[in-house]
Amino acid sequence: MTQPTAKKVMAMLNSFVATADDKGKRLDVFLLEKFPEFSRSHIKTMMEKGKIKVNDAVTSKAGTTLKVGMKIDVEKLNVEPISTKPEDVKFDIVYQDSDLAVINKPQGLVVHPCASTRSGTLVNGLLFRIKDLSGINGSFRPGIVHRLDKDTSGLLVVAKNDFAHIKLAEQIKNKTCHRNYLAVLDGNLKDDTGRVETFIARDKKDRKKMSVQGSGRLAITDYWVRERFQRCCLVEFSLLTGRTHQIRVHAKYLGHPIIGDRIYGKEEKGLSGQLLHAYKLSFIHPRTNERVTFEVPLPDYFENYLKKQRKVL
């Protein structure tokens, strides 16, 4: 199925109402999520031209904090096109039927086109290999129910129709979709098991990062240590919420960032990104109402790192 490339438009009014999930977000962050073809500079230009309104009033404040019920109107200007054409992108399809597909995403693959990555994404690959995808998220994110960071590998589910998309999205919201990850943390956690429950929001000093703060969106992560080494430990994480960079932020909050995490920790020689892998995914199938569970092994680079740690025990 070929999806259209974003076209330049004269003017198109888009209206949104902030929900509980949007509470505490910056206005520009909200707009970047709604319009992946935008950049921050483009949003600034739109504000300068009076094309963005909050509660029917023109605004120039990109940092406006959203509250539940706020109305946001956007009159779209011409934008640079972002390709959503089919491309032969490498990834594994673990399972698929007429409603959904379960994907094993490799490290380094961006999920959908955005201002910084306009092609070669998982979405481009899905369009190349899968005939039908749900249209709820528009032409830039067809089928995408949830995401993984670029340098996080592992499982995610893709919807092939709107019925499946709605059902799967409800499970993520209601926490009946279970996602388990394996990560290698720098140093050793004090406790073998635990729960991290904090608020996470956009970092005040670095807008590209998230951080634990006194307010924001509630984030809950359970963890248990699988294996301990001299300088690190293998830890399993279970997400009870799905915040941006949640496991990476919580690992740093615990004082043990993920090995190879260049944003929340430090680079690791021989690694291209963080050792974080979504190895297990469980949800209720939207058509059969039966729970299905999928697991994938660790990538070779991840397993090789563990083997090296075991040799020095």
Catalytic residue numbers, as ranges:
149
CA-wise closest residue to 56 among 72, 75, 80: 72
Tell me the C-alpha distance between 26 and 32, whole Å: 10
Exposure of 192 in the CB half-sphere (CA atoms within 13 A): 2
Tell me the C-alpha distance between 303 and 230, whole Å: 17
Task: Please report, as a single letter, which amino acid is at residue 224.
Answer: W
Please give the structure tokens belonging to residue 31. Answer: 């707009």
CA-wise closest residue to 194 among 219, 222, 220: 222
- Compute how many other C-beta atoms are within 10 angstroms of the C-beta atom of residue 153: 27
Please give the structure tokens belonging to residue 234. Answer: 């293998």
- Compute how many other C-beta atoms are within 10 angstroms of the C-beta atom of residue 289: 8
